[in-house]
């Protein structure tokens, strides 16, 4: 499967749709999706590491994610000029690693 096959699919967080996939790669150790959130968060694009993909439904053209809308909304902003920068990828990976398994940051113990 190529990344282009997912372009245009709907991205669905654990609590509802967040937009459409604008770009996808399947590079070893660097796979990601770029989702255009449209009006949901004012046209912001978000970059999601492939590890947050729960499953892909090719019949419905949907990619199901294992993060909530709030977790995705709070992610570091996507910048198409620095998305290949290792520091940006580390920050993004760190953010999603910290949010793994917690429905929202407000549910974390103090």
- pLDDT on residue 104: 42
3-class SS at 108? Answer: coil
List the one residue out of 21, 44, 42 whose CA is nearest residue 33. 21
- For 53-79, b where at least 16 C-beta lie within 10 A, e where not — what string? beeeeeeeebbbbbbbbebbeebeebe
At 20-35, the pLDDT tens digits run 999 887 665 667 888 8
Confidence band (pLDDT; 50, 70, 90) for 96? confident
At 56-93, the pLDDT tens digits run 999 999 999 999 999 888 887 787 777 677 787 777 77
- pLDDT on residue 89: 75
């Amino acid at each position: 499967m190529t990344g282009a096959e997912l372009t245009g699919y709907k991205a669905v967080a654990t609590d509802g749709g967040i937009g459409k996939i604008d770009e996808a790669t399947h590079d070893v150790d660097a796979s990601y999706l770029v989702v255009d959130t449209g009006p949901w968060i004012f046209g912001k694009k978000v970059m999601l590491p492939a590890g947050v993909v729960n499953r892909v439904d090719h019949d419905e053209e949907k990619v199901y994610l294992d993060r909530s809308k709030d977790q995705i909304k709070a992610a570091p902003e996507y910048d198409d000029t620095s998305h290949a920068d290792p520091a940006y990828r580390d920050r993004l990976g760190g953010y999603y690693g910290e949010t793994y398994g917690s429905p929202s940051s407000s549910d974390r113990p103090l």
